[in-house]
Structure 1
Amino acid sequence: MTTATPTSETIPGGFTEASFEAFLKGRDEPGWLVDRRREAFARFRAFAWPTSRDEEWRRTDIRAFKLDAFAPPSPPSREPGPAATAAFAPLWESLSSHYGTGVAHVDGSLVHRPDPAKLGGAVFVDLETAVKDHPELLRKHLMTDVVKPSDDVFAALHGAFWSGGSLLYVPRGVKVELPLFSIAGLTAEGRTDFGHTLIVLEEDAEATLVRETASAGRGETPGLHVGAVEVVQEASSKLRLVNIQNWDAATWHFTRERAVVGRDASLQWTVGALGSRLSKVNQEVALAGERAAAQVNGVMFTTGRQHLAYFTRQDHQAPHTTSDLLYKGGLKDHSRTVWKGMIRVEKDAQRTDAYQKNDNLILSDSARADSIPGLEIEANDVRCTHGATAGRVDEEMIFLCQARGIPRATAVRLIVEGFFANVYDRITLDPVRETLRQAVAEKLGNS
């Protein structure tokens, strides 16, 4: 006897035992994956809910967030309506014109598949397909050693309920010439996105992946994203990874993202933190092999009452590793950013070279930026530096521009663009630089 696939209406609201069982019934998954989901759900139920007494959450207040107001993602078999899919067509067409091929999910359901002819020998598929076609890869890597359900309550919640997302697997020696992309879209009907991204590059492999999130037709409808990104890079591999987070101002965004970089491998990771009502992001890079290198670039811009909290960690585990992190933030209105960075150097990671910096430009009297750099060093032969700045637009610079006939609003825009220029210059993909420039300019022009 077959079990009827439930619709989203048959999955009870909230993330309870009943809703979890209904969620599992709507999926056709192997026993090992179901067992992992059950273990993650048990961890989720065992975690205490974050409060301001927790150091991790002391500057990020989520008392207004009500998890019970949301329901688990719909089954993969339920596709979004034509209007929902059409809402993201311009973004799909734009990315398709700049990059090779991509995958798109709307409300957690697959709406576009990559073109295999443009993958150059790599595997790039939605995660539900990967469960069936590449179980050995998922069984080995999916939430085992990189991001784990034991990391925190949201990682456990994601481990139990992940739905949608993609696998990028590049075999040994394969170099994917054209950049790949993925889209996660959220509408008022879907309300929740639990997409997961798993990237595995074998020895000497190379690839570029651009990930974008966006919202459409949502108005003030609350939305929720609980996600994870896992990156595994073996020896001498090279990866360019871009995350552009551009949810609407009613969406809550929680994600844990971590890359493990092997011997002689290199990672360039660019983050655009632009949207959401509130974001709490943990972004970590583990330099696990000798001479591993990572460059991390961040562009943050907040307006209204947005609250973006990004916690970064550069974890040096092997000798002769390098990391270079630069985050820049612009803040308007009553918005707030929290950046907390940590450079961790293990005892055996001699000759580490690590740098981190966070600069903030405050554009209103009510905005606030908290910058907290940190070092934990157990080796005795290292070079580690960090810094953080926060300041307002220099009125003298504005006056000098106005004295040359430049209107005040234009002067401020030029100063802001100059502030972000050195982080833009580090980004090696022209379309990404332009996307971030346009997004910052648009937010700067809107109240």
Structure 2
Amino acid sequence: MTSSPSATTAAPAGFTEDVFEAFLKGRDEPGWLVDRRREAFARLQASAWPTLRDEEWRRTDIRAFKPADFGPPAVVEPSAAARAAFDPLWEDLSSHYATGVSHVDGAVVRAPDPSRLGGAVFVDLATAAKEHPEILREHLLTNVVQPTDDVMAAWHAAFWNGGTLLYVPKGVKVELPLFSINGLSAEGRVDFGHTLVVLEEGAEATLVRETASAARGGAPALHVGALEVVQKDRSRLQLVNIQNWDDATWHFTRERAVIGADASLQWTVGALGSRLSKVNQEVVLAGKGASAQVNGVMFTTGKQHLAYFTRQDHQAPHTTSDLLYKGGLKDGSRIVWRGMIRVEQDAQRTDAYQKNDNLILSDSSRADSIPGLEIEANDVRCTHGATAGPVDEEMVFLCQARGIPRETAVRLIVEGFFANVYDRITLDPVRETLADAVAAKLGES
């Protein structure tokens, strides 16, 4: 990250060295993990805080964000009321998927049913550090997401709490989808949850992740997260992220998947909540024949600001990526999408596509779409595009001419706008969840 000379180069207020040491003492972790946290904290102290002079942040103003309002996640059990707030979401997901894990304020409140894992390891990270340390030592914040990526990654690597490991051994196919919940209660204000997914050679799995807030529009809250995906050769993964924080939550996360030879990833994102989101999402096609499909549904209301930076990094020949993000904007909200297709010199016969479309539903909302290409190979097919515009008044008129009220006509047009993204999603409950969420936000006054 390029920083301005005047940028601060210290840990955010509320996350000082003394606070960090107290945070470490409150945890029961092996020495190697503590050492990694210390290295990350040193990186955090040496990193520059983002400013509007930084290219990556000049369209995302976080001057209103006050890190001093927050401190490290507390290592305490959530109250009965906090746990109960997410029972409806648990019951809903349990009705669709095999089994899951639930965190509230960083603490595990529900564990998966081992009999429904089909041979996979699906546990919280604290348990994984004790029972599966070899997996974490190899993969956790080492080769996929690293503290050196940026200041937010360093912040997360030093203070992560809670989180989930999904490990699928070689050749194992988990037939039924799994799910995880990451919730912030009305009492909790800080979450640094982490998700690590590792699929060995020929493994297959589906994971649905949801974040949610118990209170809507309460005290300011903070999430600084990370998602790491490691897919070995010929593995298959369906991954769903549905972000539905309340409109008082600041959301920062770095998410990256590294895909091996002849492996495939379908990654679906629902970006619905938060006050402000800054998300870096990257797929690395590291093995010959790797493929990735990335689907994004974004909808903003009020004064929400969502910034999603996507990257399709082709490092091997005969790789394929296909990204489609669609956004709807109401009121005074804003969406920033910046996409990059990167093709390395050895990645001949790459086939890459990216597109971002935005439907602007008010005069005061704004969409910034910035597609990009960096191509070092000479035998590739790479295309990109972006659009932004209001509802077509001719379409509204045609509906009204057939007796359809304007409000209903707009709703039908919005549904049609998102339809081709929904059609790419293979999980019926995910399609329904996203469609219902968009309809609900469209109806907000």
TM over 0.5: yes
| Corresponding residue for residue 67 of structure 1 | 67
1:39 matches 2:39: yes
| Corresponding residue for residue 435 of structure 1 | 433
Q: Distance in 2 between matches of 1:396 and 1:284?
A: 38
| Corresponding residue for residue 8 of structure 1 | none
Deviation at 1:220, TM superposition (A): 2.4
Q: Percent identity?
A: 82
Q: Map 1:283-298 to 2 at 5 A.
A: 283-298=281-296
Deviation at 1:188, TM superposition (A): 2.6
Deviations 1:282-334 (A, max 9, x none): 00000000000000000000000000000000000000000000000000000
Determine which of 395, 408, 411 is the counterpart of 1:413: 411
Where does structure 1 differ by over 3 angstroms across 4 or more consecutive aligned residues? none
Work out whether residues 335 and 367 of structure 1, in 8 Å CA contact, stay in contact via their aligned partners in 2. Answer: yes
Q: Map 1:231-242 to 2 at 5 A.
A: 231-242=229-240
> Partner amino acid for 2:69?
A
> Partner amino acid for 2:265?
L
> Partner amino acid for 1:33?
L
> Partner amino acid for 2:48?
A
> Partner amino acid for 1:47?
S
| Corresponding residue for residue 30 of structure 2 | 30
Q: Map 1:182-331 to 2 at 5 A.
A: 182-217=180-215, 219-331=217-329
Work out whether residues 263 and 292 of structure 1, in 8 Å CA contact, stay in contact via their aligned partners in 2. Answer: yes
Q: Map 1:61-210 to 2 at 5 A.
A: 61-75=61-75, 78-210=76-208
| Corresponding residue for residue 54 of structure 1 | 54
> Partner amino acid for 2:165?
L
> Partner amino acid for 2:150?
D
> Partner amino acid for 2:283?
V
Task: Name the CA shift for 1:374/1:351 in 2 (closer, same or farther; >3 Å).
Answer: same
Q: Distance in 2 between matches of 1:410 and 1:87?
A: 33
| Corresponding residue for residue 4 of structure 2 | none
Q: Distance in 2 between matches of 1:445 and 1:217?
A: 20
> Partner amino acid for 1:156?
A
Task: Name the CA shift for 1:218/1:387 in 2 (closer, same or farther; >3 Å).
Answer: closer
Q: Secondary structure at the match of 1:51?
A: coil
Q: Distance in 1 between matches of 2:87 and 2:300?
A: 26
**Superposition CA RMSD, Å:** 0.9
Deviation at 1:342, TM superposition (A): 0.1
Work out whether residues 216 and 247 of structure 2, in 8 Å CA contact, stay in contact via their aligned partners in 1. Answer: no
Q: Secondary structure at the match of 2:68?
A: helix
Deviations 1:234-263 (A, max 9, x none): 000000000000000000000000000000
Range that drifts further, 110-119 or 213-222: 213-222
Q: Secondary structure at the match of 2:415?
A: helix
Range that drifts further, 86-95 or 215-224: 215-224
Q: Distance in 1 between matches of 2:185 and 2:63?
A: 24
| Corresponding residue for residue 4 of structure 1 | none
TM-score scaled by length of structure 1: 0.96
Q: Secondary structure at the match of 1:426?
A: coil
Deviation at 1:403, TM superposition (A): 1.2
Q: Distance in 2 between matches of 1:286 and 1:314?
A: 6
Deviation at 1:402, TM superposition (A): 1.0
Q: Secondary structure at the match of 2:147?
A: coil
Task: Name the CA shift for 1:218/1:304 in 2 (closer, same or farther; >3 Å).
Answer: closer
Work out whether residues 215 and 246 of structure 2, in 8 Å CA contact, stay in contact via their aligned partners in 1. Answer: no
Q: Distance in 2 between matches of 1:14 and 1:229?
A: 24
Q: Distance in 2 between matches of 1:181 and 1:220?
A: 27
Work out whether residues 82 and 186 of structure 2, in 8 Å CA contact, stay in contact via their aligned partners in 1. Answer: no
> Partner amino acid for 1:296?
V
Range that drifts further, 368-377 or 209-218: 209-218
Q: Distance in 2 between matches of 1:246 and 1:445?
A: 17
Deviation at 1:92, TM superposition (A): 0.2
Work out whether residues 13 and 19 of structure 1, in 8 Å CA contact, stay in contact via their aligned partners in 2. Answer: no
Deviation at 1:190, TM superposition (A): 1.2
Deviation at 1:13, TM superposition (A): 7.7
| Corresponding residue for residue 6 of structure 1 | none
Q: Distance in 1 between matches of 2:124 and 2:168?
A: 15
Q: Distance in 2 between matches of 1:211 and 1:84?
A: 19
Q: Distance in 1 between matches of 2:152 and 2:187?
A: 22
TM-score scaled by length of structure 2: 0.97
Work out whether residues 13 and 72 of structure 1, in 8 Å CA contact, stay in contact via their aligned partners in 2. Answer: no
Q: Distance in 1 between matches of 2:257 and 2:238?
A: 12
Work out whether residues 13 and 67 of structure 2, in 8 Å CA contact, stay in contact via their aligned partners in 1. Answer: no
Deviations 1:95-129 (A, max 9, x none): 00000000000011110000000000000000100
Deviation at 1:217, TM superposition (A): 2.5
| Corresponding residue for residue 445 of structure 1 | 443
Q: Distance in 1 between matches of 2:106 and 2:287?
A: 35
Work out whether residues 280 and 309 of structure 1, in 8 Å CA contact, stay in contact via their aligned partners in 2. Answer: yes
Q: Map 1:1-40 to 2 at 5 A.
A: 14-40=14-40
Work out whether residues 233 and 263 of structure 2, in 8 Å CA contact, stay in contact via their aligned partners in 1. Answer: yes
Q: Secondary structure at the match of 2:362?
A: coil
Deviation at 1:219, TM superposition (A): 3.5
Gaps of 5+ in 1: 1-11
Q: Distance in 2 between matches of 1:356 and 1:212?
A: 25
> Partner amino acid for 2:386?
A
> Partner amino acid for 1:31?
G
Q: Aligned residue pairs: how many?
A: 434
Work out whether residues 341 and 374 of structure 1, in 8 Å CA contact, stay in contact via their aligned partners in 2. Answer: yes
